[in-house]
Amino acid sequence: MRLLASLALLPVLAQASIPSTPDLGQAEGRCRTNEQGPAFLVDVVGLRDRQGKLKLEVYPANDDDFLADDNILISAGKTFRRIEVAVPAAAQPQLCVRVPQAGRYSVVLLHDRNSNRRFNWRNDGIGFAGNPRLGISQPAAQEASAVAGAGRTEIRIVVNYLRGLRMRPLED
């Protein structure tokens, strides 16, 4: 009887663990041409240079889920979206990321200058929706959030880099 109960749980346990890949959340986050649903259209301002990649991620707008592991969020059925693109050579970057419905979400942008998919606070840049002033810790989810409307909602994110003893925009 125990064996049958254990076997019955295997499909549930298999679904609970999603293998971690950099692609998690990208299919759901990628905007499509002429799509009308809710999305953030993000103007990226203040890049240090044109090398590497830009990674934009969307999280639930609460401190428990903000910047949480993408596997955990997806396994729990919570919002997680990601897009990753090469930094364009010329124009000011504008990124589009879909969200499941209109509402408030926390949004983070990483300028991964060496494209290693890891944040290095000494070299990489980071920015958040709402453009909070950065201290020695991450901002609260509400400070780093924006409200998505029923269609595409434009927001502006200013990228911060280590300058002196803190993270701040290149031009204050």
Q: Cα 35–40–46 angle (5° rounding)?
A: 130
How confident is the model over 86-128, as pLDDT tens digits? 999 988 899 999 999 999 999 999 999 999 988 998 999 999 9
Query: What's the sign of the alpha-carbon dihedral 33, 131, 129, 117?
Result: positive
In-domain check, residue 42: yes
CA end-to-end span of the chain: 68
In-domain check, residue 12: no
In-domain check, residue 94: yes
In-domain check, residue 146: yes
Question: Does residue 15 surpass a pLDDT of 80?
Answer: no
Residue with more model confidence, 139 or 136: 139
Q: What is the 3-state secondary structure (H, E, C) of 13-38?
A: HHHHCCCCCCCCCHHHHECCCCCCCC
Closest among 150, 161, 144 to 66, alpha carbons compared: 144
Which domain CATH number covers 75? 2.60.40.1120
Question: Which is it for strands 103-112 and 53-60: parallel, antiparallel or unpaired?
Answer: antiparallel
As for how many domains the chain has, the answer is 1
In-domain check, residue 144: yes
Task: Specify whether the CB–CB gap between 148 and 39 falls below 8 A.
Answer: yes
In-domain check, residue 139: yes
Give residue 63's domain range. 22-169
Task: Specify whether the CB–CB gap between 48 and 56 falls below 8 A.
Answer: no
Closest among 133, 128, 129 to 166, alpha carbons compared: 133
Specify the pLDDT at position 88.
93
52: left (phi over 0), alpha (psi -120 to 50) or beta: left
Specify the pLDDT at position 14.
40
Q: Which tokens sit at 141?
A: 């989810």
Specify the pLDDT at position 24.
72
**What's this model's pTM, rounded to 2 decimal places?**
0.85
Where are any strands of DSSP class E within the chain? 39-45, 53-60, 81-86, 94-98, 103-112, 125-128, 145-148, 152-158, 160-163, 166-169
Question: Does residue 26 surpass a pLDDT of 90?
Answer: no
In-domain check, residue 129: yes
In-domain check, residue 92: yes
